[in-house]
Structure 1
Amino acid sequence: MDTSARPALPALALLFNATVWGLVWLPFKALQQLGLHPLWATALIYLAALAGLLLWRPRSLRHLARQPHLLGLALAAGLTNVCFNWAITAGDVVRVTLLFYMMPVWSIALAWPLLNERPTPMALLRVVLALGGVLLVLHRPGTAWPLPRELADFLALAGGFCFAVTNILVRRWRDTPEEGRVLSMFLGGLTVATALAFSGAGGPWPGLQPAWLPWVLGVGAAFVAGNLALQYGAARLRAAVTALIMLTEVLIATLSSSLLGAAHPTPVVWLGGGLIVLAAALAVRRG
């Protein structure tokens, strides 16, 4: 392999993961149309992914058992997935994706106390741009303040915060076996989604339907591949850079959902999204 290409591999891995998540609204909305709430869908998908992961790497259970601190990573990853999957199913895909990417702001703030990565002036400028974009996305005509008002808004913002925590923990514990980290994240997705589904938040179990199977297996496999890519990339790049490279998901989700009629962004939302993407572009230029 050409060694000059190696520094780009972590960034390419993160771009692959962003592509998976930028298109994940398609199967979740399809499963909802088939009568499956996103909480039940998340639980089934992570059950399939976890089963496949354990068949492929059964020894990962030993790594997880020896690293109990990874339970924190499991909780953060589980909440991230539940919030995001539910939000993109319940709300406008572009709006939800943009609000989710308040995540760079959380990441820069959390990286200072947890990783001792002090924000640079340019990082603070990117924070200001991202915050300005989020405020524009939240703005509703006829309202005085740009505040979250729908369930999807709150879920997207909460999911972005949890994703920032997930990325921070992946980097902080990058010296632990990768298999243990991956397993903890999938176990978290299954556990959190199942607990919330059985609590009644996802409605009653509708009964297993054969039409779900292709979606569940396909998304489960994509999640495994995307998670491995995230582990590789996030463990090798600064937390703030990881967060901003992952903004590629915004472009993928925006284009795909707009073309397929799953989102109807207003000019103000486009402007807010442009500011968020500009923050990412500045990070890429700096890199």
Structure 2
Amino acid sequence: MSSVSTRASFTAPALALVINAFVWGTSWWPFRQLEARGLHPLWATVLIYAVAVLVILALRPRALGQLLRTPVLWILVLASGTTNAAFNWAVTLGDVVRVVLLFYLMPLWAVLLARLVLREPLTHHAAARVLLALAGAAVVLWPAGRSGWEALPLPRTLPDWLGVLGGFCFALNNVMLRREAHRPEEARALAMFVGGMAVAGTLALVLVGNGMASPPPAPAPGWVAGVAAMALLFLAGNLALQYGAARLPANVTSVVMLTEILFASISALALGGGHLDGQLLGGGALILAAALLSTLSGADAH
């Protein structure tokens, strides 16, 4: 009986984490559908997170005061907001598989940020993760048929840069969550959702002002219903993440969350949002190995 109970206590939280990973791993498709209806992914991000902010404030109104009285949480606002704006924009513009792999260079940035922010030592395991992630990034970004400076394995397109930036900010988000773990949970949650709304909104306004994006279209049933559905899915995914992460060891949580790469890759290949060749497969294997090594060491648990 006890073994059945133990198995059940593991299965439900793990399933909750898989649900969250599925929501994020397949979110590229509805973002593209919304863009096809005239709603830029940045404006979609603003509206989705605005709904989440309203829900949090309705359920936990004191969270706003906690956020305003805690300036350090605004680093979380910026980190989480940039993560979401960069990732959502990148998977709408570029090859989903490539973007997700570059985004999951997160263990590389986590090692460096943990050293700077948390004063964690740079261990042999951490150095191995850095080297694996760098090698994977070099393989993914290696330009075929180029020489000289042009042959350097660097991001060259906007989706590439957004994927790398999103992963860096995701690592900063996780490091700050660990550093500020003593803060009220509702204040941290509000900071993350406010960030998703504020950063995407600011960037969208800049793009509109420079003629690089259009303002939100007039309300129409198609995209309004899509935004509402995505807001509910993101809220459900966030609740699932909190439920699962609170009941499983951090290293187990990190391993399960890597299924996001699987969901993103399979959905992109099936629905025409990306491709997979030997170069991406080889680089992705190295990046995934770095992420798995981070979970085994427990250094990047979040």
| TM-score range normalised by the length of the shorter chain | 0.7 to 0.9
Match of 2:278 in 1: 267
- Establish whether residue 190 from structure 1 lines up as the match of residue 193 from structure 2: no
**Conserved? CA contact 2:17–2:240, under 8 Å:** yes
CA deviation digits over 1:90-134, x for unaligned, max 9? Answer: 000000001111111001111122223324322322222222111
How has the CA–CA distance of structure 1 residues 13 and 110 changed in structure 2, closer, same or farther, with 3 Å as cutoff?
Answer: farther
- Establish whether residue 147 from structure 1 lines up as the match of residue 154 from structure 2: yes
Letter in 1 for 2:285: G
How has the CA–CA distance of structure 1 residues 245 and 261 changed in structure 2, closer, same or farther, with 3 Å as cutoff?
Answer: same
Percent sequence identity is 49
Name the SS for the 1:31 alignment partner: helix
Match of 1:159 in 2: 166
> Which of 67, 71, 74 is matched with 2:70 structurally?
67
Match of 1:219 in 2: 230
Bigger-Rg structure (1/2) = 2
Match of 1:123 in 2: 126
CA RMSD of superposed structures (Å): 2.8
> Which of 18, 22, 26 is matched with 1:23 structurally?
26
How has the CA–CA distance of structure 1 residues 12 and 132 changed in structure 2, closer, same or farther, with 3 Å as cutoff?
Answer: farther
> Which of 37, 40, 43 is matched with 1:40 structurally?
43
Aligned counterparts of 1:14 and 1:109: Cα–Cα separation in 2: 26
CA deviation digits over 1:37-89, x for unaligned, max 9? Answer: 11111111111222222223223223223323211111111111111100000
Match of 2:216 in 1: 205
**Conserved? CA contact 2:105–2:133, under 8 Å:** yes
**Conserved? CA contact 1:171–1:236, under 8 Å:** no
CA deviation digits over 1:175-225, x for unaligned, max 9? Answer: 100000111111111111111212215323322221012321222122223
Name the SS for the 2:77 alignment partner: helix
**Conserved? CA contact 1:19–1:252, under 8 Å:** yes
Letter in 1 for 2:280: V
- Establish whether residue 102 from structure 1 lines up as the match of residue 113 from structure 2: no
Aligned counterparts of 2:247 and 2:170: Cα–Cα separation in 1: 14
How has the CA–CA distance of structure 1 residues 225 and 116 changed in structure 2, closer, same or farther, with 3 Å as cutoff?
Answer: farther
Q: Out of 226-235 and 197-206, give the one that drifted further.
A: 226-235
Long gaps (5+) in structure 2: none
Aligned counterparts of 1:136 and 1:244: Cα–Cα separation in 2: 23
Aligned counterparts of 2:194 and 2:297: Cα–Cα separation in 1: 36
Aligned counterparts of 2:32 and 2:293: Cα–Cα separation in 1: 33
